[in-house]
A and B are shown apart, each in its own frame.
Chain A
Amino acid sequence: MRRHEYWTYIVLVFPIILLSIFLIFPVGAVIIYGLFSGTGSSFMETISAYYTQFTIAFTLVQASISTILALLIGLPGALLLARLRFRGKSLIRALIIVPFVLPPIVVVVGFIQMFGSFGIIDSILMLITKSTTSILNLADGVVGIVLAHTFYNAPLVMLLVSASMERLNPEIEESAEILGADSVSRFRRITLPHILPSLSASAILTFLFCFMSFPIVLAFGNGVYRTLEVQIWNAFRWSDYGEASSLVLIQILITISLAVSYIKLGRVTENQSGPTSTIRTTTLGKYKLWEKIAITAYIIVTLFLIGGPIISIIRAAFFDPIRQVYTLDGFSYLVRIGSNGGFQPLINSLFYGGLATILSIIIGIPLAYAHRSKTRGLPSLSSTMILLPLGISSITVAYGLMTVIAVPTGLNINPWPIIVIAQTIIGLPFTARSIEIGLKSIDPNILDQADSLGATRIQRLLFVEVPLLVPSILVGAVFAFAMAIGEMSATLFIALPQNYTLAVAIYDNLGVRHFVEAGACSLILVALCVVAFLAMEKISEGSTGGTL
Chain B
Amino acid sequence: MVKIDLEGLVREFADGTKIGPIDLNIQDGEFLTILGPSGSGKTTTLRMIAGFIEVEQGSLLFDGQDMVGIPPRERNIGMVFQSVALFPNMSVYQNIAFGPEMAEWPHKKTVERVEELADLLGIRNLLFRKVSEISGGEAQRVGLARSLAKEPSLLLLDEPLSALDPQLRERLQTEIRRIQKKVKVTTIYVTHSQDEAFAISDRVAIINDGRIEQVGTPEELYDRPANEFVARFLGSGNVLQGTVTQAHGGKLCVDIMGIQLPVDGKCEVGDSVKFSIKPEDIMISIESDNSVATGIVTSILPQVGSFKINIDFQDTQIIVLTYDEDLVSKLRENGNKRVSFSFRPNLAVNLID
Contacts and interface: CB of A to CB of B under 8 A. Distances in A.
Contacts of A45: none
A178 B79 contact: yes
Interface in A189-212: 189-190, 193-194
Residue of A172, A175, A194 with most chain B CB atoms under a 10 A cut-off = A175
Nearest to A172: B85
A431 to B, nearest CB: 33
Residue of B89, B103, B147, B150 with most chain A CB atoms under a 10 A cut-off = B89
Shortest 3 CB-CB contacts between residues of A and residues of B: A180-B102, A171-B85, A193-B89
A178 B50 contact: yes
B102 A179 contact: yes
A185 B85 CA distance: 17
A5 interface: no
Contacts of B52: 174, 177
B72 A190 contact: no
B102 A178 contact: no
Contacts of A179: 73, 98-99, 102, 146-147, 149-150
A199 to B, nearest CB: 13
B78 A178 contact: yes
B73 A178 contact: yes
B82 interface: yes
Interface in A222-275: 272
B102 A181 contact: yes
Interface residues of B, number: 25
B87 A178 contact: no
B73 A182 contact: yes
Nearest to A182: B73
A185 B88 contact: no
Residue of B77, B87, B103, B149 with most chain A CB atoms under a 10 A cut-off = B87
Contacts, number: 63
A175 B85 CA distance: 7
Contacts of A277: 83
Contacts of A176: 87, 98
B222 interface: no
A190 to B, nearest CB: 6
B188 to A, nearest CB: 13
A302 interface: no
A177 B156 CA distance: 14
A169 interface: yes
Contacts of A193: 89
A106 B77 CA distance: 56
Residue of A176, A177, A179, A272 with most chain B CB atoms under a 10 A cut-off = A179
Residue of B50, B82, B99 with most chain A CB atoms under a 10 A cut-off = B99
B99 A172 contact: no
B88 A272 contact: yes
B81 interface: yes
B27 to A, nearest CB: 22
B321 to A, nearest CB: 40
Interface string A125-144: 00000000000000000000
A169 B83 contact: yes
A190 B81 CA distance: 16
Interface residues of A, number: 19
A171 B82 contact: yes
A171 B84 CA distance: 8
Interface of A: 169, 171-172, 174-182, 185, 189-190, 193-194, 272, 277
B244 to A, nearest CB: 52
A178 B85 contact: no
A177 B103 CA distance: 12
Contacts of B75: 178
Contacts of B149: 179
10 contacts: A174-B52, A178-B72, A178-B147, A179-B99, A180-B99, A181-B102, A189-B87, A189-B98, A190-B89, A193-B89
Interface of B is mostly: loop
A180 B102 CA distance: 6
B89 A175 contact: no
A177 B147 CA distance: 12
Contacts of A171: 81-83, 85
A189 B97 CA distance: 13
B95 to A, nearest CB: 9
Given A180-B73, A180-B150, A182-B73, A175 B87 contact: yes
A185 B89 contact: no
Nearest to B88: A272
A182 B74 CA distance: 10
A177 B72 contact: yes
A174 B51 CA distance: 10
B108 to A, nearest CB: 19
Nearest to B78: A178
Given A177-B52, A178-B79, A194-B88, 16 more contacts: A171-B81, A172-B88, A176-B87, A177-B71, A178-B50, A178-B72, A178-B77, A178-B78, A179-B73, A179-B146, A180-B99, A180-B103, A181-B73, A182-B73, A189-B98, A272-B88
Nearest to B103: A180
A175 B146 CA distance: 9
A169 B89 CA distance: 13
A26 to B, nearest CB: 44
Interface in B63-79: 71-73, 75, 77-79
Contacts of A174: 50, 52, 72, 79, 81, 85
A341 B73 CA distance: 69
B152 to A, nearest CB: 9
Residue of A176, A178, A182, A193 with most chain B CB atoms under a 10 A cut-off = A178
A56 to B, nearest CB: 36
A176 B72 CA distance: 10
A182 B72 CA distance: 10
A280 to B, nearest CB: 9
B301 to A, nearest CB: 32
B176 to A, nearest CB: 17
A277 B81 CA distance: 13
A181 to B, nearest CB: 5
Contacts of B88: 172, 194, 272
B89 A194 contact: yes
B287 to A, nearest CB: 53
B158 to A, nearest CB: 9
A248 to B, nearest CB: 40
